[in-house]
A and B are shown apart, each in its own frame.
Chain A
Amino acid sequence: MKIINLSVICLYFILAPLGGQSFAQENANIYEQLNLFGDAFDRVRRSYVEEVSDKKLVTSAINGLLADLDPHSMFLTAEEYENKKNSPLSNFAGLGLQITMSQGVAQVVAPLDNSPASVAGLRPGDLIIDVNQTPIYGMTLNQAMAEIKGGPPGSKVELLIIREGEDPFTAIAKREDIETPAVTWSIRQTEGYIRIPLFLDSTTEQIKQAVSDIKASIGESFGGLIIDLRNTPGGSIQAGIEVADLFLHDGEIVSVRNNNGDISETFTTNLNDLLDGKPIVLLADRGTAGAAEIVTGAIKDNNRGVVVGSNTFGLGSRQKIIPVGDDGYVQITVGYFYSPSGYTIEGLGIEPEVNIEPSRVIIQESRFPRRREATLRGALDVADDEEQTALSNISVENDYQLSRAFDLLRALSLLDQTDN
């Protein structure tokens, strides 16, 4: 290694006059740093107790370097890259669970609707310490995901969970084939409801279809829309931006700032508002992450709708994938997403305008049944033409946040009609 040091210094002196002082200094540091790695690499190759391939050494070094930066910077083999590109659900294989890394262990972002993870009771923010008795601590995000996925459908997974305010406990789930989650809709009287379980390439078209179906079912009296993004763990950023565009007439959707704090990308609206300004209530919670937070931030900051629920997860970093070598890719975090008003999403999330935590409502029963007009003897019958046909195919009874959202939307839509 002595020889290398010498020649590095020579090269440095030859090239130094080409650049300025600090430039030369910086490059001297780079030399020294790369040289330090070369030295370590060489000594391990020569002296380790067993023969290790250069490929393994360098791959684990690259993984170590990238994992130290942030959980989403990672090295991808050609196969992993293809897989990521072609099957957006591959991250969810097995349990239907989106995770990130926090404090060295895996953290649940959100389980997909009706997935094994959801059935097992996993919640946003839960820390996963062990998977089948294998400790997660020290693993990269990829390794932790592989550990969770790692088995055929039908196999059991035991997860050791730490949840705030509770003793550690074990959750048991059974791996299944995960079906592609689709947008669903329903209506309650004159208001529509759309559930977006995950942002995928097909999501925008599905929402357009859902909105047109809702309008057709309700007719002229269509009063507004609830967009439910609770436990929507993200998915395609592009899809998130497109969906936000569907509901905004003009304005900014989201921007990205790079390591200098400069805005490196800005996404603005292209399309007309699908709802022509009809009121929107957007439901969000701690399981609202990534692309779903971009939509939440865009709707909120453009004053296009009211965000109801709890603070969102705070997953808002922009990755770029760069090919390196013959068949590898570096996925690297190049910036953070900022909502149109300039708030960073990463680590903080979006705060709802109306904070409503999941709750249970216990109605107080009165001791004596109250008398009402209809119970009076000889009361007049309701006039036929005044009879309401309550059109509703969604139950809100066990969902406090949703019922409050509907109440709010109803009020907004009534107010909207008065304005007109």
Chain B
Amino acid sequence: MIRVFNKIAALTVLLIGLQASATAAEKSSYDHLNLFGDVFEIVREQHVSQTDGLQLIYAAITGMLAALDPHSGFMDAETYREMQERTSGQFGGLGIEVKMEDGAGVRVVRPMDETPASRAGVLAGDLITHLDGNPINDITLQEAVEIMRGPINSEIDLTISREGASDPIIITVTRDVIRLPSITYRTEGTAAYIRITSFSEQTTPGIRKAMTTLKEELGDNYQGVIIDVRNNPGGLLDQSVGVVEAFLDRGEVVITRGRDPNNVQRFTARRGDLADGKPIIVLINGGSASASEIVAGALQDHKRAIILGTQSFGKGSVQTIMPMGQYGAMRLTTSRYYTPSGRSIQATGITPDIIVEQATVEPLFPIIVEDENGEEVVESVVQTQDYQLQRARELIQALSVHQSTRINN
């Protein structure tokens, strides 16, 4: 009975498919899908293990997608949820950076600003020994982090052993939305330095905030911007567009093309340049991929930035997340992207305008300096750990001199 029934099920799926357009090609889809139904049925009835039908379908979809390219794949509901958390850059949590302290608990590296943990008075260096009264000395960091995350507005008790305090301190923290900063920023000489670690929904707002803060900090000394996307594997396409837009007054940012020649999407920048026309250097390396390459490619094509570093990774395809209800989602490569000048990045990557391999630099001859006691000593041997950044900083200074000379003449 089941045998007959399954057959009908498979046929139904196919027959409806045929209604769309009953061409010869559709007919072959029918045969192929029918073959799949047959195999599914054989496995369910005869395989030696007790197979779960849904698991089989997941494996089939995974196999189908994995055979296409390295970036297409299937995510079950759990994996899909994790991915959403990652790309939104936010989740319900406490807002502390922690590391494992073997056999004792987790050590707070630092509480992030304006988070539940910092508000509740958790300090850097605190050792968390219990979560909700349960000892955590024999669980992994991953597990501890899982416990600390949870629904917004839910509470968790942290038992903390703090240096200088004789008794353990219990602090109750209410979980809140934590936004993972996708950028860090600081001043580097006369430049505003922004490092983008990945492209999440927090990236573009973060860039705007960073630029405001840094320009204020540098004041009259502000001479340019260094955008660091080294080892940035990418992320959301629209966020890379947002980053380019922040520094480009007008023009195309990126063009995506699907299989259908009519399926072309052009992303263009709206007015406004947060850098006020000052020089921009984009730092890239072999770990800069996808969205990072869009940023570098667009700013390079518009001659808005000088690209410095080493050849980028070369991932020029766009994946679309296709939710499948309760079952999770597919991640499918749906288009390739091109820089404004029409270059494809796929498999080639972005070539920097100035190629600088990462290096440390040591002086050839000892440099003698006076220490605080007025005695002559040899200056520490390594002058810089990040040669690429140093070169970018120097370039900003040089360009700024050049620009002011031009204006003065």
A residues apposed to B, CB below 8 Å: 3-4, 7-8, 11, 15, 18-19, 23, 26-27, 29-31, 33-45, 47-52, 54-58, 60-70, 73, 75, 138, 258-259, 317-318, 320, 322, 324-326, 328, 330, 332-336
Contacts and interface: CB of A to CB of B under 8 A. Distances in A.
Contact of B19 (A3, A8, A326): A3
B226 to A, nearest CB: 34
A332 B44 CA distance: 11
24 contacts: A7-B16, A19-B5, A29-B54, A30-B53, A36-B327, A37-B40, A40-B61, A41-B36, A44-B330, A47-B332, A52-B68, A54-B33, A61-B61, A62-B36, A64-B59, A64-B66, A64-B67, A258-B48, A325-B31, A325-B34, A330-B39, A332-B47, A334-B48, A336-B48
A38 B60 contact: no
A37 B324 contact: no
A72 to B, nearest CB: 10
A64 B73 CA distance: 12
A67 B39 CA distance: 13
Nearest to A55: B32
Contacts of B44: 30
Contacts of B32: 54-55, 57-58
A114 B135 CA distance: 58
Nearest to A320: B46
Contacts of B43: 65-66, 69, 73, 330, 332
A38 B13 contact: yes
A325 B259 contact: no
Contacts of B42: 322, 324, 330, 332
Given A30-B44, A34-B10, A60-B66, 17 more contacts: A15-B5, A27-B2, A41-B36, A48-B332, A49-B259, A49-B335, A58-B64, A60-B64, A62-B63, A64-B64, A68-B62, A70-B48, A320-B46, A322-B42, A324-B38, A332-B42, A333-B48
B48 A317 contact: yes
Contacts, number: 206
B16 A37 contact: no
Nearest to A318: B48
B152 interface: no
B317 interface: yes
Contacts of A54: 25, 28-29, 32-33
Given A44-B332, A75-B39, A4 B12 contact: yes
Report, nearest first, the 6 A-B pairs whose CB atoms are least far apart: A64-B63, A68-B59, A60-B67, A61-B64, A65-B60, A58-B32
A37 B61 contact: yes
A31 B62 CA distance: 19
Contacts of A138: 66
B119 to A, nearest CB: 45
Contact of A67 (B63, B65, B68): B63
B6 to A, nearest CB: 6
Nearest to B335: A49
B142 interface: no
* Residue of B46, B50, B317 with most partner-chain A CB within 10 A: B46
A26 B1 CA distance: 12
Nearest to B318: A49
B334 interface: yes
B56 A33 contact: yes
Contacts of B336: 49
Contacts of B25: 54
A328 B56 contact: no
A332 B46 contact: yes
A152 to B, nearest CB: 27
B53 A33 contact: yes
B64 A41 contact: yes
Contact of B57 (A11, A33, A42, A258): A33
